[in-house]
């Protein structure tokens, strides 16, 4: 298949690109480097041994998208492009709505004009908000998120559903990712956040490399086995493989389908900290701090729909995630700079 990846230079997009190239698909990447670097593209070529087409463009720019769709016979799109920092989205909500919603609408318009019917969208477990119960199933209500970022995912999902209702040829897979961590086993690509990381694994990695003095563990008085929050961490390479399955599914079905991509296993913050220290034989200074606003005690997926519809299950475990995250960080202490 010829697959257009918006945001393909980013963390999840670059890993997915490698999986798709390895499977023999042709890839076209569109990215504006708002949260990534051109070097990611060199690394993808190096790891895969294959080339691909690249456009530096904004996925929300109708003229640029029109040109890209006109120049390429696209079979399927994977729409990764988006701003993704939950906290930042509370400070600059309009930028989040403009970027994340305009890119979704622009792509759907280009698809309609050029007769492209299949798209896979990067949604998020954040759409579930405070879970009523765990594990989370796709039929649970998804309209209670607490950040503008989360709303852009809920609203994009709704836009896709409405577009499907109006166009019976359209096929949309809404992949709801849980907590992606880890990196490609080569250690050549990985997550490269700007500034001080907000998320747990990049923070841990930067403490381990000595860039940050210690990890703050946000709360140990939650109703969980060790008191720290529980999440469904998923290796980014497993996630990338899920996308390869999702494009096949999109090509064979019609309508909109939301599918969780998680392992189904919940690990606490301290599970991750302890596993990182053990697997990598490294000390990780940390201290217990107060709770972080907006954190839910427990969030993990029921991944059975992905198994049934996509034939996909996560294969990598917590040790792989901790080893590969560290391997990436220690080999690239300055990220892709």
List C-alpha distances in Å: 103 to 60, 150, 168, 206.
4, 16, 22, 32
Q: From ligand NAD, ligand WQD, none, which one binds at residue 32 (CB under 5 to 8 Å depending on kind)? A: ligand NAD
Question: In angstroms, what is the minimal distance from the CB of 284 to ligand WQD?
Answer: 12
Q: Between residues 170 and 242, which has the closer beta carbon with respect to ligand WQD?
A: 242
To ligand WQD, the closest distance from the beta carbon of 216 in angstroms equals 5
Give the start-end residues of each E strand in the chain.
Answer: 2-6, 26-31, 53-56, 76-79, 118-124, 171-177, 179-181, 215-218, 230-231, 233-235, 255-261, 267-268, 286-289, 298-299
Q: Among ligand NAD, ligand WQD, none, what does residue 60 contact (CB within 5–8 Å per kind)? A: ligand NAD
Q: Minimum distance from CB of 76 to ligand WQD (Å)?
A: 22
Task: Please answer whether residues 335 and 169 qualify as being in contact, where contact means their C-beta atoms are separated by less than 8 angstroms.
Answer: no
Q: Is 230 helix (H, G, I), strand (E, B) or coil?
A: strand
Which residue number, 287 or 298, has a Cβ lying nearer to ligand NAD?
298
Shortest Cβ 101–ligand NAD spacing (Å) = 10
83 vs 108, beta carbon nearer ligand NAD: 83
Per partner kind, with CB cut-offs from 5 to 8 A, the member of ligand NAD, ligand WQD, none near residue 65 is none
Nearer to ligand WQD, 26 or 191 (CB): 191
Contact residues: ligand NAD, CB under 6 A: 6-7, 9-13, 30-36, 58-60, 80-84, 99, 103, 122, 124, 177, 180
- Which of 199/304 has CB closer to ligand WQD? 199
Q: Is the separation of the CB atoms in 263 and 307 below 8 Å?
A: no
Report the residue number, 11 or 326, with the smaller CB distance to ligand NAD: 11
CB atoms near residue 103 (< 10 Å): 26
Considering CB distances under 5 to 8 angstroms, the limit depending on partner class, which of ligand WQD, ligand NAD, none binds residue 241? none
Residues in contact with ligand WQD by CB under 6 A are 84, 86, 124, 126, 179, 198-200, 203, 215-218, 229, 231, 269, 292, 295
Shortest Cβ 281–ligand NAD spacing (Å) = 27
31 binds, among ligand NAD, ligand WQD, none (CB under 5 to 8 A by kind): ligand NAD
CB 181 within 8 A of CB 15: no
* Closest CB 173 distance from ligand NAD, rounded Å: 13
Nearest residue to ligand NAD on Cβ basis: 10
Q: How many other CB atoms sit within 10 Å of the CB of residue 327?
A: 20
Q: Is 315 exposed, middle or buried (0-12, 13-18, 19+ CB in 10 A)?
A: exposed
Residues near 136 by Cβ (< 8 Å), separated by ≥ 6? 125, 128, 260, 299, 300, 301, 302
Which residues, at least 6 apart from 162, have a Cβ–Cβ distance to it below 8 Å? none
Task: For 29, list phi and psi in degrees, rounded to 5.
Answer: -110, 135
By annotation, the residues acting in catalysis are 149
């Amino acid at each position: 298949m010829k697959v257009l990846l918006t945001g393909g230079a980013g963390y999840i997009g670059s890993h997915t690109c490698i999986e798709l190239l390895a499977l023999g698909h042709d890839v076209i990447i569109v990215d504006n480097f708002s949260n990534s670097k051109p070097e990611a593209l060199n690394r993808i070529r190096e790891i895969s041994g294959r080339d691909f087409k690249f456009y530096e463009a904004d996925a929300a720019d109708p003229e640029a998208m029109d040109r890209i769709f006109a120049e390429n016979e696209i079979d399927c799109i994977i729409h990764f492009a988006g701003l993704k920092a939950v906290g930042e989205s509370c400070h600059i909500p309009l930028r989040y709505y403009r970027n994340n919603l305009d890119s979704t609408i622009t792509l759907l318009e280009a698809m309609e004009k050029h007769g492209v019917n299949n798209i896979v969208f990067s949604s998020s477990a954040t759409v579930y908000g405070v879970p009523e119960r765990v594990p989370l199933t796709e039929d649970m209500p998804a309209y209670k998120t607490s950040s503008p970022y989360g709303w852009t995912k809920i609203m994009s999902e709704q836009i896709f559903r409405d577009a499907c209702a109006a166009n019976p040829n359209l096929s949309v897979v809404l992949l709801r990712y849980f907590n992606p961590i880890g990196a490609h086993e080569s250690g050549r690509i990985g997550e490269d956040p700007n500034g001080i990381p907000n998320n747990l694994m990049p923070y841990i990695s930067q403490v381990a490399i000595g860039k940050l003095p210690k990890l703050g563990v946000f709360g140990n008085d939650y109703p969980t086995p060790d008191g720290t929050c529980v999440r469904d961490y998923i290796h980014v390479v497993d996630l990338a493989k899920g996308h390869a399955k999702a494009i096949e599914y999109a090509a064979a079905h019609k309508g909109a389908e939301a599918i969780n991509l998680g392992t189904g296993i919940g690990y606490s913050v301290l599970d991750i900290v302890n596993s990182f220290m053990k697997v990598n034989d490294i000390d990780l200074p940390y201290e217990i701090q107060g709770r972080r606003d907006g954190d839910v005690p427990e969030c993990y997926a029921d991944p059975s729909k992905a198994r049934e519809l996509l034939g996909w299950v996560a294969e990598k475990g917590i040790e792989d995630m901790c080893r590969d995250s560290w391997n990436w960080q220690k080999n690239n202490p300055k990220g892709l700079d």
